[in-house]
A and B are shown apart, each in its own frame.
Chain A
Amino acid sequence: MFLTLIRRELLDNLMAFRFAAAVVIMLLLVVANTVVLIKDYEGRLTDYNTAVKTHRQELRLESKTYSDGMLSFWGKIIVDRPPNPLSIFNTGLDKRLGNEIQVSHIFTPTIWDANKHAADNSYFNIFTSIDIVLIFQGILSLLALTFAYDAIAGEYERGTLRLVLSHPVRRGSILFAKYIGAMVCLLVPLLMSLLLMLILLTTFATVSLSTDDFLRIGGIVLTSLIYLSLFYLIGMLISAITRRTSTALILSMFVWGFLVLVYPNMILTAVDTAPQVDPEPAAYHQIKRVWDELERKRDQFLRNDAVPGEGWGFDLVDVEGIDSIFSGWEDKPSRLLYYTYVGSEFETIHEKSEPYVPHAQNFYGFIGPLTVNTVERTWLIRKPALETIYVQPANRGRMLLKFSPAGLYNATTEAWAGTDLNGIQDFFIAAQRYRQAIVNYFYDEKIFASRQWFSSDQGAVDWDTLPQFSFQRSDIGVNAKRALPDLFLLLTMNILLFMAIFLVFINSEV
């Protein structure tokens, strides 16, 4: 009996006009947008490759001393964030946030210190961006509701429900049969469009997907399925309560409009989640004080060393008698970034300056580790302060969005794709680790106190001996861990809705 019911539901749905419409519209939208999105991804990949190449070349061509590579105002050691191929599914923050960051021992790299490749036309930002998840979010929910609105109400109106119930069949199995029949039908457009998408993705050679990526796509598909089922159940509940198809249809449309379209935008308009940047934050002054301490220690060191005076030039000059010392500072209260540095860069050193070289080595050997130490101390202040200013309001916004299934779906797929804030943070954590590796290398090789730190007269720095940066996106396990809480929430909503429908349906008179 159960199978008969399912077969009936399947046939009913498959023969309906809405099924054909669903398939056609899904295929059209997904294919058109996939092509556009792949093109966009390719463009970003090219930008990334160009940037990596230029950054490598610039470092090797222009920086002869460690001082110059690590300190100069337009930092030379720059690591680039590759675009995420799964941003085709859910763009998330992948496109918006910075994708190149300077690595230097004088500050801890964070998202807020990053820059963007200077490639594209910034005016294009006025257009809203689109991705596959956005299409699914809008269309799948709509289709699910159009399949569901007459599931129960329609049978009431036609009187067929009375007929079915006159057979020895439990009400629960009728509900189940309806659910399974409709879900199988709804799966067809979803899977077909995904199949076409994957075919397109694999034909473009530039998009290389690893095994993990396919598993992540699997996660996205699973989430889409649960999202689809959630909206089908919402429609069914409306259908069971209203008992009239016309009312159910209109109510479903309003519920759809509210959950998918209105709520996410309205809540974030009503609650301000933009970063609250204080022009003179307290943490910033604290950081500045720590750096002042460094400067005091530096001056003290210079006063007590063998060379008279407090200058840090040590009368070093090159053959033509010109001194190439430089100093600078960065002062960005909005991102709590402050540091000062001194350095020098000589291609040759005059004979008469030679006696001063050990003094300079001694000084840089002192100031380098002291700077690293200061950066570590300021990081303890800066990290929580940045969290309060930027991350907390953002997370509050995200939390509010999760009250709508559409927001929940978006957050989950973002976590699977690795384009959420955590995924982007991973890159910057890798950059921080890379900075630590360089600093450790400097300690091990005693580079701060070396002659090459400030002079290339005995040969330029071989940058290839430095530890190399590599970034691997977190593995599927981490993605799953980030996605599962929200997925679980979606699933719970499903179960609750099913129970509600069951209760309503059991208690209703035919």
Chain B
Amino acid sequence: MWHITKRELYDNLNSLRFALTTVLLLALMVTNAVRYIREHPKRVQKYRDAVAESMNRLTAHADASLYTLAQQGPGTLYKQPSPLHFCAEGGETFLPDRVDSSYYTERFWRLRYPDVNINMMNVGPDVSQVDWTFIIGYILSLVALIFTFDAISGEREHGTLRLMLANSIPRRTVLIGKFLGALISTTIPFMLAVLVNLLILSTASAVHLNIQAWGRLGIIFCIALLYTCLFLALGLLVSARVQQSAVSLLILLLTWVTFVVFMPSTLASLASGFSSSMSRDEYDERYGQSDAELRRTWQRSWYWADKSELDERTLTKIGEWHTKTAVREERLNAGYVTFKINQVQRARAITSISPAVLLQHLLESFAGTGLDRHQQFIENVQRYAREYREFVVDMDRSDPESLHIMGVREGMSQKPINPEAVPKFEDTRNLSKDFNTAATELLLLTLFVVVLLAGAYLAFVRVEI
């Protein structure tokens, strides 16, 4: 078997396709690295400035009083940019990078989820960034097909297949040998390109990749190999079934174009047409309804009254009103954003028929970008919001002078709080959690590979020479 692998390897290494692949992959990876070095420091700086500003405001609130802290909330919370942005861009420009916590005079803070329309200002042509997802998803898969389309049909055309099978080697050994040979010869240029890419990145002083990032990069590399295997198996399968190599390549290319290039966007548009979306107007209507309902149930005779003259019972009522409205509105906001994200998730699930989409999702999960990451960010924010509210209640309870009525200035502690004690928002990511979200897709991809490999084996066993 090693003999066959070695022969395949020598064949491929000297071929035109090997040279072209190396040049193409190198050019793409260098572009990718250069772009990343230029963009990433800016992105990180922007994030740091924004967070620092948010922090200053929070400190000022804490210095004022617990009531200010409780009423005005934690300010704007930002999504931390991923250091592995160069692996998967993940449509980050189309996703919001923050969650606001807004308040009005008297009213309490609640989380609001902004929309983005960044692209409306840009009148330039549509582009998809050259990230690893693009390089692996499109180019590496195409290369894999080009390396295998004539693996069996070519030998048959030359008559060498007959020669090889005349020896006492089982057919599966031949197939595995060919598979390994093709795998190694596609991996060599890819590995080279990846090395150059990482080398450029590590020389840049502004980019720091920690141990965890390197671990994630390792996983991404393995996924890339698995994805390549899928296309190698497909190439072998078609090559075994078809008599002529040219026909084999044609079939492979058309399959590739359909599944990799067109299927994702067609299915996404199709899926987005299925479910009717809740429009902004509808949301506003719902918001108005719930607001009106609250107003009906609460006779707010105290609304214009001087709060310091009210008795404790009325104050409690006011406090309840404030908490209720905030909770209700926040729930509505969260429901709206979850609805929208779920709708997109359903469309994404449908597009998973395409292996390129599977790869994209996997890379996004491990690079920490894209929709899954955004969902994680929103969960983090919501958890933090709970923590923050509990902190306020606890602090209020520990002040003996306070009436412990949440939501009213007169009923709450007026003491300043040590800014250090206020919980800070941390946008954490967790590798095991990413693994969990990616598990299904990883399994699906593996399944694809296994099925195609089995298919290739069966096809090759039945080949008549």
Chain A interface (Cβ < 8 Å from any Cβ of B): 17-18, 21, 25, 28-29, 32-33, 36-37, 39-40, 43, 93, 96-98, 111-112, 114, 116, 118-130, 135, 138-139, 142, 146, 149-150, 245-247, 249-251, 253-254, 257-258, 261-262, 264-266, 268-270, 272-275, 277, 334-335, 390-391, 393-394, 397-398, 401, 410, 421, 424
Contacts and interface: CB of A to CB of B under 8 A. Distances in A.
A246 B283 CA distance: 60
B122 A394 contact: yes
A43 B273 contact: yes
Nearest to B339: A121
B120 A98 contact: yes
A127 to B, nearest CB: 4
A270 to B, nearest CB: 5
B298 interface: no
A137 B31 CA distance: 24
Contact of B125 (A111, A266, A272, A397): A397
A265 B31 CA distance: 10
Contact of B344 (A96, A111, A123, A394): A123
Nearest to B253: A142
B123 A391 contact: yes
A18 B250 contact: yes
B125 to A, nearest CB: 5
A39 B273 contact: yes
Contacts of B292: none
A359 to B, nearest CB: 35
A21 B351 CA distance: 24
Nearest to B19: A254
Contacts of A247: 16
Contacts of B150: 246
A118 B125 contact: no
B279 A97 contact: no
Contacts of A251: 16, 20
A146 B115 CA distance: 45
B413 interface: no
B54 interface: no
A111 B273 contact: no
Contacts, number: 200
Contact of A126 (B24, B91, B121): B91
Given A264-B127, A397-B124, 10 more contacts: A121-B340, A122-B117, A124-B344, A125-B94, A125-B119, A127-B264, A128-B268, A130-B262, A265-B127, A398-B124
A121 B35 CA distance: 30
A142 B115 CA distance: 39
Nearest to A149: B246
Contact of A123 (B35, B95, B119, B245): B95
Cβ-closest 6 pairs across A and B: A126-B91, A394-B124, A118-B280, A127-B268, A130-B265, A125-B94
A103 B245 CA distance: 63
Interface string B255-283: 00110011011101110110001011100
B268 A265 contact: no
Interface string B13-34: 0011100100010011001101
Contact of B266 (A33, A125, A138, A139): A33
B458 interface: no
Given A245-B246, A398-B125, A96 B273 contact: no
A393 B123 CA distance: 9
A161 to B, nearest CB: 18
A277 B118 CA distance: 13
Given A128-B264, A273-B124, A122 B116 contact: yes
A253 B146 contact: yes
A250 B117 contact: no
B129 A269 contact: yes
A253 B253 contact: yes
B127 A97 contact: no
A17 B247 contact: yes
Interface stretch (B134-142, B186-194, B233-241, B394-402): B134-142
B384 to A, nearest CB: 22
B245 A265 contact: no
A474 B268 CA distance: 32
Contact of A146 (B127, B130, B250): B250
B38 interface: yes
Contacts of B246: 18, 146, 149-150, 245, 249
A25 B245 CA distance: 19
B127 A250 contact: no
A124 B347 contact: yes
B73 interface: no
Contact of A121 (B31, B120, B127, B277): B277
Interface in B102-133: 115-117, 119-130
B122 A390 contact: yes
Given A129-B269, A261-B138, A268 B120 contact: no
Contacts of A25: 254, 257-258
Nearest to A253: B146
Contacts of B281: 118-119
A125 B277 CA distance: 14
B251 A21 contact: yes
B253 A393 contact: no
A235 B128 CA distance: 27
B127 A268 contact: yes
8 contacts: A21-B254, A33-B262, A43-B273, A118-B280, A123-B95, A127-B269, A251-B20, A421-B123
B224 interface: no
Given A17-B247, A124-B347, A335 B121 contact: yes
Given A246-B150, A270-B35, A40 B269 contact: yes
Q: Give the interface centre of A18, A138, A262, A421 by most chain B CB atoms within 10 Å.
A: A262
B343 interface: yes
Interface in B306-362: 340-341, 343-344, 347, 351
A505 B81 CA distance: 56
Contacts of A246: 150, 154, 245
A122 B125 CA distance: 19
B16 A265 contact: no
B124 A128 contact: no
A129 B31 CA distance: 24
A139 B257 contact: yes
Nearest to A245: B246
A124 B94 CA distance: 9
Contacts of B94: 122-123, 125-126
A130 B251 CA distance: 22
Contact of B27 (A97, A119, A253, A266): A266
A270 B125 contact: no
Contacts of A393: 124
B80 to A, nearest CB: 19
A381 B91 CA distance: 35
B124 to A, nearest CB: 4
Nearest to A277: B121
Contact of B31 (A18, A270, A334): A270
Contacts of B20: 250-251, 254
B249 to A, nearest CB: 6
B123 A111 contact: yes
B249 A334 contact: no
A401 B279 CA distance: 36
